[in-house]
Amino acid sequence: MALAEKLEGNVELKSPAEKFYKVLKSENHHIPKACSDKVKSIEVHEGDWETPGPIKFWNYTVDGKAEIWKEKVEVDEANKKVTFVAVEGHVLDLYKTYKARSSRLREEWQK
């Protein structure tokens, strides 16, 4: 029997939901500028920045240790959700599968 765990949290943003959604969906390349001490680079491995479904390669540090993350980005335009699915990286040493999802952007978008 497989054990599945789910962790949920809330993050308060000082940005409109529309802008944050756009960064998650197709402008990840701006993230290293915002937190260069943690995220060193993000590159498109397959696809492109604008088309849904690209595979991206992240170089970042955790507690001073260099790590990598290769992800597939899934976009649900109707509900304004973005899901990042781990394809490669240290997180898969810890978990069989890993998905990070934005889930409440649509609610904020409509305010």
DSSP conformation letters of 49-95: SSSSS-EEEEEEEETTEEEEEEEEEEEETTTTEEEEEEEEETHHHH-
Q: Which residues are within 8 A (CB) of 102 and not within 5 positions of it... i.e. 6 or more apart?
A: 20, 21, 24, 80, 81, 82, 83
Q: Is 70's pLDDT higher than 90?
A: yes
Which pLDDT does position 87 carry in this prediction?
94
Domain that holds residue 61: 17-109
The domain spanning residue 73 has which CATH number?
Answer: 3.30.530.20
Q: Is residue 29 part of a domain?
A: yes
Mean local confidence (pLDDT), 84-104? 87
Total tally of structural domains belonging to the chain = 1
Q: Is residue 10 part of a domain?
A: no
Which tops the pLDDT comparison, 58 or 106? 58
